[in-house]
Structure 1
């Protein structure tokens, strides 16, 4: 075989430029870039070295042959012509990967099958021995790439992808591949910072991928030093002595690197479930003396190596899969920006994000940006110098102040000289300035306008809230059409529901406005960002509005009309308390004394709690959901109303048909539409209202009252109901001041027997 080989190094899209620099440094010659690959010439020694030392490549492919092909027969013949007995035994195992199409090959499975057949037929012995297929751990992994009529047949020297270093047996929900993490570190300047003895901190470290990759770079450890199985292990062209020599050299370099005083490398992770898996990964990588992982929130992140030491803060914050998710992450990015400005002055920072618009909200400028791909997701790496002149705050600085900041930055860049004084260009001494006070990022013009509206609404509702003793109310409900959201206060928590923008609105503009509004909310309402919960409300059907959004299981206790109620702000689209129905709940409380109360479609039975508070003789609450009936039980128990308060699980229509009890006071707040698997048929409030009200009125005792309310904006009460019952619309009296801006939030009627 030749002394020099053609190699193809594959990599994630966007890493080609970095990979070609690395590969040339490791000995690759005549190197050229391709999409997601680098091509060049190399000796066997260089090929082994690339397998061992490349931090960026996915695979190292050794080209066996190039040939032109016009059809499947040409493919078979071109592969069959190779002397396969020089590469593997006739009873060995084989795996084939095929990419590309054309020349009569439109199916990669068919292409791989033709390659496999050619190899097997070539190696088949008279005794019937032939290679078998093993897709997981074959003796030889063959790759054929079809490109515009040319077949490139290669042997995969790496075996499994080189990004699989072997230390990360446990990973989080959205892991960053090891070679992508290494590329981000290299772009962020970590090799230079590490060589200077700098520190590294990751405030959102997950299971520690950035930390381990950084530790291996700093300790001069070959990324694949601990790998045991390679694509060349059973290849007959393998040169074991040469491999052992390179492997021994890498082991010696790693031992020498780990013998040095360890750098300060620390990770912090909010999720306690990831701490031990991260520490296990660090231990498997052999870097326990270099890397430590602690539990901690971004909002309290503060690296504390030696006071004068600086370094790199690097992180990969969550991106968010939908706009609503991204919006809820705004505060995470703002917290990160605040911690950088407050705790990491004069450090460098690298933020790898799939949501660069959120990166802009950190209140600090990036001096460089690089594009990457995380799988199919386009991402940006934002490089930041954490210096006062890069802060974006509400402060307007004079030219003299900006000059002072520039001089301070220049001072920080000079080498330490304890016995010497440092001077500016005019010969005047430069005095180290104290760390600047960190201000809130300046709101945009739109954000300030939104903040002004919130404060105006808050002030307008203030007297009413105080007089009525209300601690849960709506403070904004799409007052300005361009800021389409509802904002509710639950004591010292804020619940934000973003309404999906119509198709006529530019999604990018809608996103910018949403971020502007979310930046304004904590400042305008004087509430910590950690207590703002953001959700996205789209057009709902059936029971979708009740589906679980999260699983945090955190309940807050609030009060209303002298009763205590549990709300959950995170796990469901709705919170367990419909604020707009407050007036009708208070009416029920005032009228319930001595009465038998029936609550249909009861949800979390808040109206039943009010009825019990008002002295109801008994309450019965009916709903199809066991989850919400359990919640209702907790609400009743919280107020000491466990006795004489019945909870019934079932389809309301079927339950009413089977019931023979009488009630003095009935409340119905049905959904617009329901198609639960646990009910027969489909409930539609507009279509089924007459049957529902007739069934309920059949259960109403003489002199009793039925209150009927719903939130379907197009709802029209059937005229024929007024022919049989006394019907009075009471909508106006059931709208409190916090919903006065949205008089169509619901409609309500009082219905009695004639």
Structure 2
């Protein structure tokens, strides 16, 4: 059996086919041909065993049994029964069937798998009077069926479980690479044939340590499946244990010799404690605790970690930025990586796996080559770098009047003319606001609001942080161009504003439906206090689309503070109750704040505590309309700032400001003292009062008086009215 020539198909991740074909040839495969996500070849069974042991790129090794066209489900059943399954499986053994693909006849993989299983079971029961049972985990025989159009291939899966499962990685990081993909990256970088050239290999963002482990195993000539206990051929009738033992012995001997080699240093850096622990555990299971170092350090310590190595190899898979606000962090991370490479790794080789090649352009290094990969379903690029002066991106020409850099200077990326104009506009805005800010006791304000249409952002300063909101570009704008402008803008913000890059938070602002703007997007819990006149408020820039403080309502809060002394104040749709806090600090006799969200009522409670305010200030979690219907207390000063639309699950019906404002204001005015004042605000630009309200009450628009200089460019950000009872 060892010398019997068989046809095989080996699967792999897309774009690894060429590398896999080379690997299969080196392991004894003949007539190797690439196909989508795999290769076909002919081989002696002994070399098939060798491929199962040594392939670093293959996912599954399949041995086709039969193939043919199936126009009906009965055709599939009949085709499967052409195989003498009694030659492959004990009639009392266990069986699993994996089915992929579909056709007009077989539209569901579950139905296809069931048909294949029934055909095998029925044949064995007919011939032996006994039947195998289904066992999904580590069965005696795993059958793979692949259907494309009307053609199906039925094969034995000799790998059993996917070969990317080496046995060492039981814990993964946040954006893990499969072991096979990590190996593919290292093959593309030439590591297996060049590792002797390098005194050190480092992954400065190592996650679960997969890249470092795979690199060390390659250098040590350790077979990826050496410690693997289960293969699909273990209990297959065609298995020859003696020949498999020969392959195992060969692998053990090569690994023993590899342990005697003089190896490079293998180093991984990781900042997250949980991921660091996972990496250390993985390294121990891989038997590399004496060969690989994992350090609880970040990218900025690279120079200290590598010392004065004149040459080395850096490979890394940075985070992809899936959560709200991470794009800004990633830009500065990539810029920092480029800086570290240029300043401390000249003469090195480097490889970077990225799901966002545009960010890699900000490193200040031109990639030597790039290759396409898929990390799961995510398309990625592998960028290779020769870290040398030849590939360093030179500084851009500075605008007229700015200092010229030295001839050899370089920056993270050339700054476009548009980015320079954006930076100049930002400086102009900040300079213009300075006299006004000197008169205010506020550390939260807007410094830019889509002043340049092509740079459509709102940028707010919160103490030592920046909150950047990108308005979603219209469909007519090329997404790649929009992203370039965003990255251009982010790249100049630290220099122009003096805010550290790790304290800049980015969000994309789209048209929100219902309560989307109030939904939690992350769970950092990063709250910090800010100052507004006499008040202090907790803000959170990361976890929600909004921050906990609507900056455009600052003048309205100032007005409430001025009018609140001795008054009974009601704040409806109170959000985090910033208006109520100002009223309380202004001497209000009492405040009542109502909001449907328990999250924001809890936040409001913390705001009151932060300002040392007492029990006369009531916080109520309730639907505002229902609460008004049930509560008959009279108030002297009322503030209402409802959403434009809301369809919360906590209410029986949705709320629409245009449709429902008459009911809302009628109820609210019935709770307002005869000499009282009600302020009503909303940001629905097409809002129009129903005539009946204008006849019943005194209504005066005061919008222009509720806009501070930092929002002067966008006077329609909200509208506000003052309502009184008619005498």
Calculate the TM-score normalised by the size of structure 1.
0.91
Map of 1:343 onto structure 2 = 344
Mean Cα deviation higher: 612-621 or 490-499: 612-621
Distance change >3 Å, CA 726–CA 82, structure 1 → 2: closer
Is 1:451 aligned with 2:423?
yes
Map of 2:483 onto structure 1 = 511
1:735 to 696, 704, 707: 707
Is 1:314 aligned with 2:331?
no
SS in 2 for 1:124: helix
Query: For 1:99-142, what per-residue CA distance to the aligned partner results, in whole angstroms no more than 9, with x for missing partners?
Result: 44559555444443443333333322676212222222211112
Does the CA contact (< 8 Å) of 1:262 and 1:289 recur in 2? Answer: no
Distance change >3 Å, CA 82–CA 747, structure 1 → 2: closer
Task: Tell me which stretches of 4 or more aligned residues in structure 1 moved more than 6 Å.
Answer: none
Does the CA contact (< 8 Å) of 1:69 and 1:103 recur in 2? Answer: no
Distance change >3 Å, CA 745–CA 371, structure 1 → 2: same
CA shift at 1:516, angstroms? 1.7
Does the CA contact (< 8 Å) of 2:394 and 2:409 recur in 1? Answer: no
Query: For 1:353-391, what per-residue CA distance to the aligned partner results, in whole angstroms no more than 9, with x for missing partners?
Result: 111111112221101001112223221111112223322
Map of 1:268 onto structure 2 = 269
The separation in 1 between residues aligned to 2:454 and 2:386, in whole angstroms, is 35
Map of 1:624 onto structure 2 = 596
Map of 2:402 onto structure 1 = none
Distance change >3 Å, CA 323–CA 115, structure 1 → 2: same
CA shift at 1:183, angstroms? 0.2
For 1:140-539, what aligned pairs fall within 5 Å after superposition? Answer: 140-146=141-147, 151-302=152-303, 304-305=305-306, 307-321=308-322, 326=327, 329-394=330-395, 439-539=411-511
Query: For 1:684-740, what per-residue CA distance to the aligned partner results, in whole angstroms no more than 9, with x for missing partners?
Result: 111221222222222222322111111122212333323222222111111001000
CA shift at 1:261, angstroms? 4.4
Is 1:553 aligned with 2:554?
no
The separation in 1 between residues aligned to 2:38 and 2:412, in whole angstroms, is 44
Query: For 1:441-482, what per-residue CA distance to the aligned partner results, in whole angstroms no more than 9, with x for missing partners?
Result: 331122111111111111111111122232111111111111
The separation in 1 between residues aligned to 2:304 and 2:20, in whole angstroms, is 31
Map of 1:566 onto structure 2 = 538
CA shift at 1:260, angstroms? 3.5
The separation in 1 between residues aligned to 2:689 and 2:386, in whole angstroms, is 64
Distance change >3 Å, CA 586–CA 147, structure 1 → 2: closer
The separation in 2 between residues aligned to 1:101 and 1:705, in whole angstroms, is 68
The separation in 2 between residues aligned to 1:209 and 1:629, in whole angstroms, is 45
Is 1:657 aligned with 2:658?
no
Distance change >3 Å, CA 609–CA 237, structure 1 → 2: same
CA shift at 1:582, angstroms? 0.5
The separation in 2 between residues aligned to 1:313 and 1:57, in whole angstroms, is 25
The separation in 2 between residues aligned to 1:285 and 1:177, in whole angstroms, is 15
The separation in 2 between residues aligned to 1:539 and 1:48, in whole angstroms, is 57
CA shift at 1:292, angstroms? 1.9
Does the CA contact (< 8 Å) of 1:550 and 1:572 recur in 2? Answer: yes
Does the CA contact (< 8 Å) of 2:91 and 2:128 recur in 1? Answer: no
CA shift at 1:72, angstroms? 5.0
The separation in 1 between residues aligned to 2:70 and 2:473, in whole angstroms, is 52
Mean Cα deviation higher: 82-91 or 122-131: 122-131
Does the CA contact (< 8 Å) of 1:323 and 1:511 recur in 2? Answer: no
SS in 2 for 1:304: helix
Does the CA contact (< 8 Å) of 1:72 and 1:103 recur in 2? Answer: no
CA shift at 1:143, angstroms? 2.2
Map of 1:613 onto structure 2 = 585
SS in 2 for 1:160: coil
CA shift at 1:506, angstroms? 2.3
5+ residue gaps, structure 1: 398-403, 406-435
The separation in 2 between residues aligned to 1:463 and 1:76, in whole angstroms, is 83
Map of 1:673 onto structure 2 = 645
Map of 2:121 onto structure 1 = 120
Distance change >3 Å, CA 526–CA 40, structure 1 → 2: same
CA shift at 1:317, angstroms? 1.9
2:689 to 709, 717, 731: 717
Map of 1:41 onto structure 2 = 42
The separation in 1 between residues aligned to 2:24 and 2:218, in whole angstroms, is 16
Distance change >3 Å, CA 99–CA 442, structure 1 → 2: closer
CA shift at 1:583, angstroms? 0.6
CA shift at 1:237, angstroms? 1.4
Does the CA contact (< 8 Å) of 2:423 and 2:496 recur in 1? Answer: yes
Does the CA contact (< 8 Å) of 2:338 and 2:412 recur in 1? Answer: no
The separation in 2 between residues aligned to 1:261 and 1:166, in whole angstroms, is 25
What is the total number of aligned residue pairs between the two structures?
718
Does the CA contact (< 8 Å) of 1:338 and 1:438 recur in 2? Answer: no
The separation in 1 between residues aligned to 2:592 and 2:112, in whole angstroms, is 68
Does the CA contact (< 8 Å) of 2:324 and 2:522 recur in 1? Answer: no
SS in 2 for 1:364: coil
SS in 2 for 1:703: strand
CA shift at 1:230, angstroms? 0.7
SS in 1 for 2:192: helix
Map of 2:85 onto structure 1 = 84
Distance change >3 Å, CA 147–CA 704, structure 1 → 2: closer
The separation in 2 between residues aligned to 1:626 and 1:532, in whole angstroms, is 28
5+ residue gaps, structure 2: 399-405
The separation in 2 between residues aligned to 1:679 and 1:77, in whole angstroms, is 58
CA shift at 1:350, angstroms? 0.9
Query: For 1:249-290, what per-residue CA distance to the aligned partner results, in whole angstroms no more than 9, with x for missing partners?
Result: 212222332343453112122322211111111111111111
The separation in 2 between residues aligned to 1:295 and 1:30, in whole angstroms, is 48
SS in 2 for 1:670: coil
Does the CA contact (< 8 Å) of 1:341 and 1:438 recur in 2? Answer: no
The separation in 2 between residues aligned to 1:589 and 1:223, in whole angstroms, is 70
Distance change >3 Å, CA 301–CA 587, structure 1 → 2: farther
Calculate the TM-score normalised by the size of structure 2.
0.94
SS in 1 for 2:31: strand
Mean Cα deviation higher: 569-578 or 144-153: 144-153
The separation in 1 between residues aligned to 2:130 and 2:291, in whole angstroms, is 52
Does the CA contact (< 8 Å) of 1:201 and 1:303 recur in 2? Answer: no
Query: For 1:514-535, what per-residue CA distance to the aligned partner results, in whole angstroms no more than 9, with x for missing partners?
Result: 2222222222222221111000
